[in-house]
Structure 1
């Protein structure tokens, strides 16, 4: 995959670089993730700071044009770019998994406490029996 940047525009208000260019590829059209990885390598930035806006292919050709935004930081990108439905669902699943893990830890702790109480009760019974 060859990537050629044809237009670059600095946007200091949003703290990003807006780039346009062409991609020459073999086989299937590259995914947003693959294109972002290639741009990150060429521009010397982190892949997570790049937001791919579009990749348009030309009919019958192994060539596509793209638009992408390169942000200064991931925090800046998260602040400006709206999250896709897929990203929101992934975050929701991660939160649910975290809650389940916390609940399991709480259950384990509550199960341990009664066992300790039983040991204490057994000790007090043994002491009473020994006194008799």
Structure 2
């Protein structure tokens, strides 16, 4: 998989980096594969990485990937919306 960074922006308000990159791959990469790749590339733990979107074009082997790297796991959990199922489980506790 060939990785090419298109945009790397620091967002101090949310304590994160917002990265857009182009990935050349024969098949659509999974969110887990992207987390592992970004973790190695930027030397950050996988739990601090949020893959926002994988955008592919029909018939092409290139994908636009939108990623956010948070300063800590706590910052990520605070800002990323939880799905309804998780909210209900936490409300029961």
Coarse TM-score class (shorter-chain normalised): 0.7 to 0.9
Gaps of at least 5 residues in structure 2 are none
Q: Give secondary structure in 2 for the equivalent of 1:23.
A: strand
Greater relative contact order (CA < 8 Å, ≥ 6 in sequence): 2
Moved over 4 A (4+): none
What's the RMSD between the two structures over aligned residues? 2.1
The C-alpha deviation readout for 1:18-54, integer Å capped at 9, x for no partner, is 000101112x301111111101110110111011110
Mapped partners of 1:31, 1:2: distance in 2: 15
Q: Give secondary structure in 2 for the equivalent of 1:20.
A: strand
Alignment of 1:1-132 (within 5 A): 1-26=1-26, 28-84=27-83, 88=86, 92=89
Q: Give secondary structure in 2 for the equivalent of 1:77.
A: helix
The aligned counterpart of 1:117 is none
Gaps of at least 5 residues in structure 1 are 93-132
TM-score by length of 2: 0.86
- Structure holding more strand per residue: 2
Mapped partners of 1:42, 1:83: distance in 2: 27
Mapped partners of 1:30, 1:85: distance in 2: 26
The aligned counterpart of 1:130 is none
Q: How many residues end up aligned between the 2 structures?
A: 91
The aligned counterpart of 1:113 is none
Q: Give secondary structure in 2 for the equivalent of 1:78.
A: helix
Cα deviation, residue 85, structure 1: 5.0
Higher Rg: 1
TM-score by length of 1: 0.62
- Structure holding more helix per residue: 1
